Amino acid sequence: MTTFHEALEESTWEILEQIPDPEIPVLSIVDLGIVRSVEVDGSKVTVGVAPTYSGCPATEVIEDSVVKSLQSGGIDHVSIRRVLSPPWTSDWISDRGRERLRKYGITPPEKGAARRDSLLGDPMATERIVACPRCGTENTKKVSEFGSTACKSSYKCADCLEPFEYFKCI
């Protein structure tokens, strides 16, 4: 039999799965990997949220969405704990999130690439091969280091000629 604690934690995760990232609405904040924990203490729920990078303008919007969504779902006592260590990495994007990004037209970062980049030292030292999310070719060219948000770069496919964004490894 499920305890009240277990049921509250489960319903919290279900609600969090429905909260879209404000900058990439095809991803839930859970798929993005920024929800680091759910702690239940009696009827109080504390959600640990890791910003994607310091100064991310969406951080406060996401935290407000978490509180409002959980309260709308009947969880009255909600608090947010901002998790800064370990820092968020694009490796935390779920497999489902990576597939959603691809279908949305954004090339997801290669899994494990952020860790490899940090071990190599300067992640900007070598040009990354980025496949087009539409046709799959690697015949692409970076147009700009920054896309619609600071966490994405703008690319253009030389085969299908479509512009697309690449979610940077962080």
Structure tokens at 24: 């990439």
Taking the C-alpha atoms of residue 13 and residue 38, their distance in angstroms, rounded to an integer, is 8
Point out the least confidently predicted range of 19-23, 71-75, 91-95, 123-127: 123-127
Q: Is the pLDDT of residue 51 over 80?
A: yes
**Sheet architecture: strand order including 152-157:** 106-107, 163-167, 152-157, 140-144
Give this prediction's pTM. 0.81
Q: What is the pLDDT of residue 114?
A: 57
Does residue 86 have a cis bond before it (omega within 30 degrees)?
yes
The CATH class for the domain spanning 4-82 reads: alpha beta
Give pLDDT, residue 134: 93
Judge whether residue 125 has pLDDT over 90: no
Structure-token match 């964004």, residue found: 165
How many whole angstroms separate alpha carbon 72 and alpha carbon 48?
A: 19
Cβ-defined contacts of 59-62 (< 8 Å, 24+): 61/22, 62/19, 62/21, 62/22, 62/29, 62/34
What does DSSP say about strands 163-167 and 152-157: parallel, antiparallel, or unpaired? antiparallel
Query: For the chain, what are the domain ranges?
Result: 4-82, 94-167
pLDDT, tens only, 58-110:
899 999 999 999 999 999 999 999 999 999 999 999 999 999 999 999 999 88
CA pair distance 169, 143, nearest whole angstrom:
17
